[in-house]
Structure 1
Amino acid sequence: MPSSYQAPNRKSEEKQRTMSQTTTTNVSGETVTVQRVLDQKGGSVFAIRPQDTLGEAVKVLRDKRIGALVVTDANGSLVGILSERDIVRKLADTPGQTLPKRVEEIMTTEVQTCTPDEALVSVLKRMNDGKFRHMPVASDVGLAGMLTIGDLVNYRLTELEHEALQLKQLIVG
């Protein structure tokens, strides 16, 4: 053993000990909001009028490749929401007679909305509890976008991929 060697003691171990995870890093103070998702996906909102037919609504849903439309009045105010699920239920009730019916006959009139500054986790909980997949985002100036359950899942998956990449970089160096 070289004469300069000194056996480690408690003090030297404490100095060298590092922690990759702390309460601060594990419990981030940052709350992800609806706006963060809208920034990534855009604020497009597709609307239809209450007096339009379900046939017209189905064409818009198909052409825009979306699952729900907000229903607005002549002033652009939100008066309902129409989803694929609403249409399918009506198809089952009135086979062969559904497409000529008006949107206002089957739209959901008690629409749950969220705001751009609302926490994503809160929105996800409300969507899950209410068993719906689309939520309009309402701001002071009107509709700011449409949030879907798919948007929330995609956002979280991207977040998890980023976290995994950071962990890999920590491990590999």
Structure 2
Amino acid sequence: MPTSYQAPMKGDDDKKSWVSQSKQTNMATEPGNVSKLLENKGDVIFSIRPDQTLHEAVIILKEKRVGALIVTDEAGELIGILSERDIVRKLAETPGQTLPQKVEDLMTKKVEVCAPDETLISVLARMTNGRFRHMPVKCDDKLCGIVTIGDVVHYRLNELEHEALQLKQMIVG
């Protein structure tokens, strides 16, 4: 499942294809929440330390093909988030001088987080209202995943497709 839009790259066609309808999704009745999304997506979190450079961050973003990195301290605690958008804005402000700068000087320090039991509609509303695309997930005050607006929209589209299929089946009989 893609975590954010990425331009097509060599070898992309080798990936598994995704199926939007399955017996499990067709039988679901309750609205999706963050934990259901993470069951399919996984709990991989790509992080960086605040004293690392933006150059190092750009390399990780490119290699991992993600749109944001979680900034953690030595104990693995969340202290910020750094997105592609943050870096692009800084590039415009300080052309030719951006990449040597430290992550801590650019990261967003006040990070919105969600819980596994939060509904995806609530997460989507918070992301839309806050104009951000990545949200860390905390379980018992520990990082346990990250969701993107793309993940949430994809999951919701599958839910809506399921609802439409159920209505069609009710009509047809």
TM-score above 0.5 = yes
Paired position in structure 1 for 2:129: 129
SS across alignment from 1:135: strand
CA RMSD of aligned residues (A): 1.7
Moved beyond 6 Å, runs of 4+: none
Gaps (5+ residues) in structure 1?
A: 1-28
Shift in Å at residue 160 of structure 1? 1.7
Residues 60-75 of structure 1 correspond to what in structure 2 (within 5 A)?
60-75=60-75
1:117 equivalenced with 2:114 (yes/no): no
The one-letter code of the counterpart of 2:96 is: G
What TM-score comes out, normalization by structure 1 length? 0.79
SS across alignment from 2:159: helix
What TM-score comes out, normalization by structure 2 length? 0.79
Residues 114 and 132 (structure 1), Cα distance of their counterparts in 2 relative to 1, 3 Å cut? same
What's the % identity of the aligned pairs?
Answer: 63
SS across alignment from 2:61: helix
Residues 12-51 of structure 1 correspond to what in structure 2 (within 5 A)?
30-51=30-51
Paired position in structure 2 for 1:81: 81
Shift in Å at residue 124 of structure 1? 1.4
Q: Deviations over 1:87-123 (max 9, x none)?
A: 0000000001111111001000001101111122221
1:143 equivalenced with 2:143 (yes/no): yes
The one-letter code of the counterpart of 1:87 is: I
Shift in Å at residue 31 of structure 1? 4.2
Highest RCO, 1 vs 2 (Cα 8 Å, sep ≥ 6): 2
1:52 equivalenced with 2:52 (yes/no): yes
Residues 112 and 141 (structure 1), Cα distance of their counterparts in 2 relative to 1, 3 Å cut? closer
In 2: Cα distance, 1:112 partner to 1:164 partner: 32
Paired position in structure 1 for 2:5: none
